[in-house]
Each structure stands twice: as structure tokens, then as C-alpha cells.
Structure 1
Amino acid sequence: MRTDYENWEPLTVSNIVELFIDLPITWCLAGGWALDLHLGKQSREHSDIDVIILRDEQVSAYDFLSREWKLYKAQEGVLMSWVHGEFLTDTTDVWVSKNQDSPWAFQVMLVDAFENQWNYRREKSIKKPLNEIIARTNEGTPYLRPEIQLLYKGGSSKVREKDFMDLQTMLPILSTQDKEWLTLSLQRQFPEGHPWIDLIQKQLPSNTLYNYDKRSIKKC
């Protein structure tokens, strides 16, 4: 068990690509680095680095990574060893280091998918086809699309100052379609309201109206 959450020496983006490129699973960079890859430049310092994989492909990832890395599952506020043969059904966050004494190198985030659809764990009615959640840089580096990454940030139980800064950085370059999707998704997760919604809507065409519907996300 470990609790040294601040003990980080993160790999670089190129290190992650080199590590994962030959692993035959769906993966992409996430977090602040995903937004910067979309932006085309580094917008702020990053204290860690995140990789997303599909929950159903965790066995392949474990078998590959555990050859050289020590894997810890985040559970009930502590980091516990992820052992061989253990399938993570509820855990969404895995921390990775070279050994039990070395700094954290990267995190693996498990996301849910069903019938080729990504499912947002915090509000299961929010979905997207798997082939629409990942974008690529000109060099081919896969990263989580910005509107989805911003939903994870804004939809957290604790929105941090850096999450709001990321929203402000990305809003000017998000397409109208992506802003609409993010607004509607936040409305779906937070029907009582969310502080980001008004901010995003101010940057949308004035004739765009929204409706929160319990059965679907739609523009009206």
C-alpha cells in the first residue's frame, strides 16, 4: 500500500508513445497533455501524465506492463498493488512506477465501453462511438478528444483551478459542435446547473438553444 501521491517523475509524451505503440489495444493520452496535444503546444506545467485504456482490455495491458512496472489500483483513498489475475470492475485509476520505492511514472485510466460505444461512467446515458473519442496529432499520437476530456474535468466531484484554466484555454479553439456537445453533456450530468455551462454558451451562436431531455441529448 502506498500514499505518496505527490512523488512524481512523469514520463514524457514521447516515452508513453514508445511504451504503448506496440501494445495491440485501444489507448490514448488523456488529462492536460491530451488538451495540449490538441492545442499544438504546451499551455502549462503538468505534474503527471495519464493514459486511457478500455476496461475490457485491461488484462492485455496488465500482462504487458507488469513485466517491467509495478501497478497500483486506487481504492478507498489508498494505492494497493494490482495483482495478477485480478480484474478491476470498479477501479478507474491505476498508478504505475518502476518499483515500490520509485516515483510515479504515469497513470492508467480505465474507461467503459459496450458495443463499440464509449460510456461516461458518471452519467451512463452519455455515450459516443469509440471511433469518435480519440483524435491524433500529425505524428499519429492518439489523445482523448478535448470535449470529452473537459467533461471529465468539469464533471468531477472537485473541479480544480487548473481544470477551469484548461477550459478557458481550450474554449477559443473548440468547434461549435464540440462546445454544444460539452454543454449538453454537462446539462445531462448536472440538471440543476453547472458553472461552466453559461461560460460555454456565451461562446456559441446566439440562435443556438438547448434542451435537457431525460432520454437523450439533443439540440433543439
Structure 2
Amino acid sequence: MAKPIQQRDIHAWQPLSVPEVVAVMRGATVPWWIAGGWAIDLYLGRQTRPHGDTDVLVLRRDQLAIQQHLCRWHLYKTGQPTPSRLAPWPEGEFLKRETGINDIWIKNEVGRPWRLQLMFMESEGERWVFRRDERIGGRIDELGWQTSEGVPVLRPEIQLLYKGRLADRRPKDDADFAAVLPHLATSQWTWLAKGLKQQFGDTHPWLERLSKQTSGPSEPD
């Protein structure tokens, strides 16, 4: 007999596909974007590696609207990158930035695998703010782009900024960087290089690759 999945087993994932996420998020009254590794692959127009989960980015200020939209699902709040504080997310509880909780894990039935991860983006007015360095940010209406099917996706250079941690960067983050770098427009890789230098000086290993970029494809819409 197969071992039953524990309610809070952090390794039990059966992620929704991107089309399934679109169906789940249809009718949401606040902005959202496909994020994580799928943000890179959607930009490239092909899947470059397996994805252990599917991520959706929302603004922290919009979290209760999303909670209500997903009211038929089981929602758990968690600390990241290590989900050490996995616990049910009570209806109506607004998770302030000070809690250190930036992610919500979602399943459609207790005892079943996790299906979706929500990630919170900080914002101030109409500006998004990079949580690890508040000097970095930009206009919320320029956070993402849309596929030909109308799927909202986080811009790759912004996703790479989040993936570009020094202390706990993962092999898949380096793989995503290598896969998408040749396809970034000049404004995108120069923005990423500036953000990395602002945080880490000249110590980040991606900066050498970025410094060798002399041009890029046409600017994104």
C-alpha cells in the first residue's frame, strides 16, 4: 500500500500546469503573474527543464482578494526559502511584511499533493519594491508581459533578480540564467546587472557573463 501523503509534506508536489493555473485564476479581481522557472520558459517559448512547482506572483496588498478568490482551496502560509513555518492561513488574516511570510502553498484537498505556490511582491503606491533591496523597483504596470494567449508573466530580468541570490542560489537558477541570457534585450540585461551590482558589488558570478553581453534582441513590448 502506498504511503499516505502527510498534510504538511513539503516534498509532495503535483503542480498545476500553466493552462490549469490560468483556469484557476480566471475571474481574479487583482493582478497576478506566472513567476518562477515557468516565467523563464514562457519567455523562451519552450520548456527548458522540469518544474517541481508552479508559481504565481501577486502584490502583498492584494492578498485577501486572492485568498477570497481561492476560498475553495486549502491555503497554507510558509516562510521561504525553507518552508519551516507551514501552517493554515486563516480567512481574513492579512500577512504583513514583518511576519517574514512571503509565500502561500495551495492544495485542493487535505492529504493530497501541493498544486500551486503564491508569492507576495512588495509595493508602494504604483511602484513595486524589491524586498531584499528597497532601492530597486519599478512601475507595477511594467512588471510583466502577456503571451499570445493573454497569460500574464513576470518579466525574465525581474525573475532573475529574485533568483540571483548569493547565499542559497540553486543550480536551476543558474540554468535559467544561462538559458535566457542570450534572448534578453540590452535594456533587460543591463537592468539586471545594475540590480546585482547594487546588492553585491562586483562579487556576483553572473556579472562576468553579463559584462560580455554587447547587444541583445529587439526591445520587449
TM superposition score normalised by structure 1: 0.89
Structure 2 residue identity aligned to 1:168:
A
**Equivalence for 2:133:** 123
Q: Percent identity?
A: 39
**Equivalence for 2:124:** 114
Contact 1:9 1:105 in 2 (8 A): yes
1:198 paired to 2:208: yes
Change beyond 3 A, Cα 1:120–1:104: same
1:69 paired to 2:73: yes
Give the counterpart of 1:82 among 89, 92, 96. 89
Give the counterpart of 1:41 among 35, 40, 46. 46
TM superposition score normalised by structure 2: 0.88
Structure 1 stretches of 5 or more lacking a match?
A: 206-220
**Equivalence for 1:180:** 190
Secondary structure of the residue aligned to 2:37 is: helix
Structure 2 stretches of 5 or more lacking a match?
A: 1-5, 216-221
Considering only aligned residues, what root-mean-square deviation do their CA atoms show, in Å?
Answer: 1.5
Alignment of 1:19-168 (within 5 A): 19-66=24-71, 68-75=72-79, 77-90=84-97, 91-155=101-165, 157-168=167-178
Contact 2:15 2:115 in 1 (8 A): yes
**How far apart, CA to CA, are the structure 1 residues paired with 2:47 and 2:90?**
35
**How far apart, CA to CA, are the structure 1 residues paired with 2:7 and 2:184?**
38
Change beyond 3 A, Cα 1:124–1:99: same
Residue deviations 1:40-87 (CA, integer Å, cap 9, x gap): 111111110000011111111111112x11000113713111001211
**How far apart, CA to CA, are the structure 1 residues paired with 2:129 and 2:167?**
18
Cα drift, residue 21 of structure 1: 2.0
**Equivalence for 2:15:** 10
Higher strand proportion:
1
Secondary structure of the residue aligned to 2:206 is: helix
After the TM superposition, list the runs of 4 or more consecutive aligned residues in structure 1 that deviate by more than 4 angstroms. none
